[in-house]
A and B are shown apart, each in its own frame.
Chain A
Amino acid sequence: EDKVVQSPLSLVVHEGDTVTLNCSYEVTNFRSLLWYKQEKKAPTFLFMLTSSGIEKKSGRLSSILDKKELFSILNITATQTGDSAVYLCAVSPNAGNNRKLIWGLGTSLAVNP
């Protein structure tokens, strides 16, 4: 059965810390891995990763995929209170026209001032 596992489930840090969030997966016919940030409303798209070893970066956030070891990490440097959110990882299998994403349970990040 396809599955996505995120760790840790929750994390509390202080402003300025660097955090690393993990996402491992077991999916038949992997196509892509996506990271989302969810505050109180809808998930906001962060990154889509399809190739191993190529880092995607946006400001203080970066992510990389390892297709051999079947995991991805999301790094946040110099954290701010506005980074407090649930970070969701989802994997898209390569199944023709099927666009169903397989979701992890998320990592709840709290950044304290």
Chain B
Amino acid sequence: DTEVTQTPKHLVMGMTNKKSLKCEQHMGHRAMYWYKQKAKKPPELMFVYSYEKLSINESVPSRFSPECPNSSLLNLHLHALQPEDSALYLCASSQTGNSNEQYFGPGTRLTVT
């Protein structure tokens, strides 16, 4: 089973709303990632969790707040977003060790109005 799931599939939110994106994997992977992808661009790394600890924050604005409640779950809390934050938000996971194959979830298409 190489599946990463994400909810919701689509999200429309106003600039004053608070919402959360959720990601789950059951592959026993110990590294999980959040990416942001704009149209016709490659994924842009936001955060990396390794063994449930935040290991990389790519200078992401504080209106994005990640959380890793356990080894299978990853959340991204959103607050006071801007229209330019509209994008496809992708979650991925990978094993630790020498393998760096990252498996992506289907993404959440976020629109900020």
Contact = CB atoms under 8 A, between A and B. Distances in A.
Interface of A: 31-32, 34, 36, 41-45, 48, 88, 90, 92, 97-101, 103-106
Interface stretch (B12-20, B43-51, B59-67, B74-82): B43-51
Contact of B45 (A34, A44, A45, A101): A101
B94 A99 contact: yes
Contacts of B102: 34, 45, 99, 101
Interface residues of B, number: 23
Contact of A42 (B42, B45, B94, B106): B106
**Interface SS of A by simple majority:** strand
A88 B104 CA distance: 13
Contacts, number: 54
B100 A43 contact: no
A99 B100 contact: yes
A32 B101 CA distance: 9
Contacts of A97: 50, 55
A100 B45 contact: yes
A32 B100 contact: yes
A100 B35 CA distance: 11
B104 A105 contact: no
A34 B94 CA distance: 13
